[in-house]
Structure 1
Amino acid sequence: MKVTQHIANAAGKSLFSFEILPPLKGQNIQCIFDNIEPLMEFKPPFIDVTYHREEYEYKELPNGLLEKKIVKKRPGTVGICSAIQNKYQVDAIPHILCGGFNREDTENFLIDMDFLGIDNVVALRGDAVKSEIYFKPEKEGNQYASELVTQINNLNNGIYLDADLQNTNKTNFCIGVAGYPEKHMEAPSLDSDIHFLKQKIKNGADYIITQMFFDNRKFFDFVAKCRKEGIEVPIIPGLKPISTKKQLNQIPHRFKVDLPDELIMEVVKAADNETVKEIGIEWCIAQSRELIAAGIPVLHYYSMGRSESIRKIAATVF
């Protein structure tokens, strides 16, 4: 079922959903199930599965040439989505990136998803690999998420890369895209970021899911700006409880997200990370309650492979 249908069927009730990471290469599907199992009692209508590009580094050989070596890989998004849908009878939503795919790769990925009966995808540009400062698209690949949305929407209309194909099957994907309440790190301003977000909706996106934020006012202001610009699709907030003191520096650095002073001071005064985890849970509970009271259709939690904190939040809120 499409995300937009789940929202419509909820008839105003706020739904619970979450996102998982594929396991590192060498691990099996059971580590995914171990993360999902504690959260199933809250009846998530869908679960997002991220896609991670290969991370690599270059090593200089004795002959002076550089050897490219893969240092980390999280394979299995297609298989994980299929396993989740088969085991739990909930919709699994794969993330699909511009980075790492040319357009033919993208088309084949989407065909596989269609064969598996997957109704939703999240279209993302993706980040630069760690060895690069700026994002570099693949040769003959989509450069922007808006282009990726167009390609998916074309398939929904039976338009394939090979224009000579006849009697083509139309896919029926519900397309999600990312939104940034505090703007994307590369955007010159929030207004310009929303301008390009609007283009993704125009190209066929059906809903928006946001980057994490810790101040609900920024989310509400973001939604108001989107609505003013004529963006009417559902906007789903992404939430993550802070869990370690290191994240006070890591989150602003990696995601360009501000942390409220009140939260920062509570974490700074905490005796240990167990205390920080409890502070993060309570903060996220307060955020969740306010969002539900405002009638937000879905609350989406970034579990990052750990379900304990998310379970405590959901048990209190849902």
Structure 2
Amino acid sequence: MSPPSLIQATASTPASAPIALSYELFPPRNEAAAASLWATIRELESTNPDYVAVTYGANGSNRDTALELSHRLLTETSLRPLAHLTCVGTTADELAEIISELLDHGVRGILALRGDLPKDPAAARKPGSLAYAQDLIELIRRVEQRRSALLCAGKVAIGVAAYPAKHPESPSIEHDVEVLLAKQRSGADFAITQVFFHADQYKDLVTRARRAGVSIPIIPGVMPLTSLRRVERLGVLTGVEPDPKLLDALGRADDAAESRRIGVAATVDLARAALDAGAPGIHLYTFNEHAAALDVLDKLQLLRPSRPAVGRRPAAPELVQA
């Protein structure tokens, strides 16, 4: 008779995990932007997020600054970077080199994205380039497999994008779910949604995805809706009409403080609706600004797991000659 398994012998596990918290940042374009970004990073670090996503420009346009930011987050802060990586217009060999470089820096999370199609169609058809996020996921897993002995203390977590509203290039919302399922089968571990404006969009996405067989966590991406111009712009990009009442309220705001109050309240309502629908976490698109993001977090009052304080890594000591 075989002994009982540990699962059988131990007490039942907690019913639910703590709510995950993450932010999104983009690499700075100049020194002034860098100073502002690092002020934001220090403020966000105090909230002890689970990870911080670092965006990656179309066709790797800001590759060096993105890699530098990820490296500095690892060496100068207690934050864990989730590195964005796009594949359209880039060859498998080029991407494998970038993935290896990320892993060598200590990155253990990658958000695998197709990326925006270039204006020049020929650039997307570059010989040997990858066309879909699914291809990139499989490439990451192949690179990981080749380096498995180096990653014994931390395998790679791969995230992907999910769409509460129909992707602008998709024939249907059903097709979007089929794509998400294909990404899961290729090795994706979790998904983060694009921005949404209506409370039922996240819940409907999760319902469709679960019925189709998607089992990975689907984390709602929430943007502080404090800027009328930004909300209108994202409405155009996503093809989803923002709430007319929100647009009207933002348009009538007397000053930035009132606009921020209105937008934070609307964002909190969206995030709470997602959490009520079973969301495992909240991902905040910060646009490198911490004030509104922290306002949203404060009003949500998320229960965060207590962790030992983690200090910043000390700089390497200088060699002293005797």
Do these two structures clear the TM 0.5 threshold for a shared fold by scoring above it?
A: yes
CA shift, 1:260, in A, is 2.0
- 1:92 matched residue in structure 2: 81
- 1:164 matched residue in structure 2: none
CA shift, 1:105, in A, is 1.3
- 1:202 matched residue in structure 2: 185
> How do residues 1-318 of structure 1 correspond to structure 2 at under 5 angstroms?
11-25=16-30, 29-53=34-58, 75-129=64-118, 131-132=119-120, 136-158=124-146, 172-318=155-301
Amino acid at match of 2:130: N
Amino acid at match of 1:93: L
Amino acid at match of 1:240: M
Amino acid at match of 1:297: P
Give per-residue Cα distances to partners, 1:48-103, cap 9 Å, x unaligned: 00001369xxxxxxxxxxxxxxxx85741112111112222221011010135211
1:23–1:75 CA contact under 8 A, matched in 2: no
- 2:309 matched residue in structure 1: none
More helix by share: 2
Q: CA RMSD in A?
A: 2.7
1:178–1:211 CA contact under 8 A, matched in 2: yes
CA shift, 1:41, in A, is 2.5
Amino acid at match of 1:153: R
CA shift, 1:206, in A, is 0.6
Amino acid at match of 2:117: A
Deviates more, 1:298-307 or 1:270-279: 270-279
Amino acid at match of 2:57: H
* Count of equivalent residues: 287
CA shift, 1:158, in A, is 2.3
CA shift, 1:135, in A, is 8.0
Q: 1:128 to 1:135 in 2, by over 3 A?
A: farther
Cα distance in 1 for partners of 2:122, 2:252 equals: 37
2:45–2:79 CA contact under 8 A, matched in 1: no
Amino acid at match of 2:28: P
Per the normalisation by structure 1, the TM-score is 0.81
3-state SS of 2:56 partner: coil
Cα distance in 2 for partners of 1:247, 1:121 equals: 26
CA shift, 1:276, in A, is 2.3
Cα distance in 2 for partners of 1:92, 1:184 equals: 26
CA shift, 1:265, in A, is 2.9
Gaps of at least 5 residues in structure 2 are 1-12, 302-322
1:81–1:92 CA contact under 8 A, matched in 2: yes
Cα distance in 1 for partners of 2:264, 2:58 equals: 30
- 2:316 matched residue in structure 1: none
Per the normalisation by structure 2, the TM-score is 0.80
Q: Which runs of 4+ in 1 moved over 6 A?
A: none
Amino acid at match of 2:139: Q
Cα distance in 2 for partners of 1:36, 1:217 equals: 31
Amino acid at match of 1:78: L
Cα distance in 1 for partners of 2:132, 2:95 equals: 13
Give per-residue Cα distances to partners, 1:196-221, cap 9 Å, x unaligned: 11111111111000001121211000
1:53–1:74 CA contact under 8 A, matched in 2: no
More strand by share: 1
1:123–1:176 CA contact under 8 A, matched in 2: yes
Q: 1:197 to 1:294 in 2, by over 3 A?
A: closer
Gaps of at least 5 residues in structure 1 are 1-7, 56-71, 160-166
User: Which of structures 1 and 2 has the bigger CA Rg?
Assistant: 2
3-state SS of 2:220 partner: strand
Cα distance in 1 for partners of 2:268, 2:201 equals: 17
- Identical aligned pairs, as a percentage? 24
